[in-house]
Amino acid sequence: MIFDGHADIWTDVAIRRQKGISDVFKKVHLERFNKGEINGGIFVIWADPPYNNEPQKRVFEIIEHTAIEIMENRDIFKIIKKTKDFDTAISSGRMPIIIGIEGLSALGSNFNLLNLLYMFGVRHASLTWNEENKFATGVKGSSNRGLTEYGIQAVKKIEDLGIILDVSHLNEKSFWDVYRYSNKPFIASHSNCRSLCDVPRNLTDKQLKAIAEKGGLVGVNAFREFVHVEEDKQDIEHLADHIDHMVEVMGIDCVGFGFDFFDYLGDETKNSFAGSGNIGVKGIEDTTKAKNIIRIMEKRGYSKDDIEKISYKNFYRIINQILK
Ligand SMILES: [Zn+2]
C-alpha cells in the first residue's frame, strides 16, 4: 500500500465540477491511482490562483464540490475522522482519505471557523501556503516574520481538535515558532532536504531533526524543482537520495511520501507557481509512476519492513496519534 501525504485532489475536483463534469475521482483519477499503486492519502483543499485573491469564497466553493464528490465515492473512499477509521478503510477495501486544508487564509481573522472545517471532516491543516496571512508566514513572505499571536492560538486549537498540523510551506521563522509552541508531533507533508536541494521549500538538517524529536514525519516530494537544482539530476535516483538522507538524519520512523503530483491540474493553475515543462522528476513523473520509488528502495537495500513504514505505516502512526 502507498499512502500519499499530499495531493491537490479536492481543488481539481472543484475545477472540473465547475466545468460540468461529475464523478471526477472515478473518471479522472481512480485508474491512475491504481496504476501507481497509491491507495490512500491526504487530499487537500487548496485555494488555487487566481481565486486565492478571495480565499474564503474559493475554499467554500471547493468544499461544496468536495462534499458531493465524497457522497458519490462512498463505495471507494473512507474519510478518516477518528482513530480506527484507517483500519476500517482497509478492512472494508476502501481508500483511507484525510481531508486537508492547505493554508488557513480562508478563515480570515476568525479562527473559530476551524470548528466548521473540523465538522466537515478536515483532519489536516497547514497555516499558510506560500503567502503571509493572519496566522503565519509562508516561504514567499518576509523572512523576519513568523507566527502571529493568532497563529500561536491556532496551533493550540489545531492540537486540541485533533487535526494534523503541517509545516510544509512555512518560512523558517514560522517553522521554529511552531516547534516552540506545539505540544504534539507535526509533519511536513511535502518537503525535501535543503542539504541536497537548496530551495526555501526544503528543510535544513536542523529542521529535520526537530521534526523527528517531536515524533513527526516528513513526506518526500517528487516535484522536480525540490529534488535537484540541476535539471539533468531531476530524476528518481536523486529523489531516493532525499529518502536516504532523511532516514539518516531522522530515522526510519519519520519518513513518508508526499509526492505532490499535480500534472492533472490545468496549465493556467500550474503555470501560476511552477515553471513550464515537466513537473515530476524523470522516472516518477506522475501518479501512475509512484510505485517506481518502491523498486528503487528495494535496490538500495531497504527491508520490506522499512519500505512499509515509509509507504504508509509512519503516516498510520501519526494519524492514530493525533486524531481523536
Ligand atoms: Zn503545497
- Structural domains in the chain, CATH included, are 2-322 (3.20.20.140)
- Note the pLDDT tens digit of each residue in 153-209: 999 999 999 999 999 999 999 999 999 999 999 999 999 999 999 999 999 999 999
Q: Are 267 and 232 in contact (CB under 8 A)?
A: no
Q: Which cell numbers hold the place of 25?
A: 475521482
Angle between helices 55-72 and 9-17 (to 10 degrees): 90
Measuring CA to CA, which residue among 247, 87, 107, 80 is closest to residue 115?
107
Rounded CA-CA distance 163/114 in Å is 10
Q: Are 238 and 231 in contact (CB under 8 A)?
A: no
Asked whether residue 269 carries a pLDDT value surpassing 90, the answer given is no
Asked whether residue 278 carries a pLDDT value surpassing 80, the answer given is no
Percent of the chain with pLDDT over 70: 98
Q: Are 250 and 214 in contact (CB under 8 A)?
A: no
User: How many angstroms does the Cα of residue 240 sit away from the middle of ligand 1?
Assistant: 20
Measuring CA to CA, which residue among 248, 233, 203 is closest to residue 221?
203
User: How many angstroms does the Cα of residue 133 sit away from the middle of ligand 1?
Assistant: 16
Asked whether residue 117 carries a pLDDT value surpassing 90, the answer given is yes
Q: Are 287 and 38 in contact (CB under 8 A)?
A: yes
Q: Which cell numbers hold the place of 205?
A: 538538517
Asked whether residue 234 carries a pLDDT value surpassing 70, the answer given is yes
Angle between helices 149-161 and 172-181 (to 10 degrees): 50
Please provide the size of the chain in residues. Answer: 324
Give the H or E element holding residue 126.
Answer: strand 122-126
pTM for the whole structure: 0.96
Give the residue-averaged pLDDT of 16-43.
96
DSSP letters for 145-156: ----HHHHHHHH
User: How many angstroms does the Cα of residue 91 sit away from the middle of ligand 1?
Assistant: 30
Give the residue-averaged pLDDT of 66-92.
97
Give the residue-averaged pLDDT of 135-142.
97
- Note the pLDDT tens digit of each residue in 39-61: 999 999 999 988 889 999 999 99
User: How many angstroms does the Cα of residue 273 sit away from the middle of ligand 1?
Assistant: 10
**In DSSP terms, which residues pair with 166 in a beta bridge?**
126, 187
Alpha helices of the chain — where are they, by DSSP H?
9-17, 24, 30-36, 55-72, 85-91, 113-120, 149-161, 172-181, 205-213, 236-250, 267-271, 292-299, 304-308, 314-322
End-to-end CA distance of the chain: 24
User: How many angstroms does the Cα of residue 92 sit away from the middle of ligand 1?
Assistant: 30
User: How many angstroms does the Cα of residue 46 sit away from the middle of ligand 1?
Assistant: 8
Measuring CA to CA, which residue among 5, 4, 323 is closest to residue 164?
323
Asked whether residue 277 carries a pLDDT value surpassing 80, the answer given is no
Rounded CA-CA distance 101/166 in Å is 10
Sort 259 into a burial class: Cβ within 10 Å, 0-12 / 13-18 / 19+. Answer: buried
DSSP letters for 228-244: -SSGGG-BHHHHHHHHH
User: How many angstroms does the Cα of residue 166 sit away from the middle of ligand 1?
Assistant: 10
Give the H or E element holding residue 165.
Answer: strand 164-166
| Alpha-carbon dihedral sign for residues 257, 137, 13, 202 | negative
User: How many angstroms does the Cα of residue 309 sit away from the middle of ligand 1?
Assistant: 23
Asked whether residue 274 carries a pLDDT value surpassing 70, the answer given is no
pLDDT in the model for residue 213: 98
Give the residue-averaged pLDDT of 255-259.
98
User: How many angstroms does the Cα of residue 45 sit away from the middle of ligand 1?
Assistant: 11
User: How many angstroms does the Cα of residue 190 sit away from the middle of ligand 1?
Assistant: 7
Measuring CA to CA, which residue among 149, 52, 40 is closest to residue 100?
40
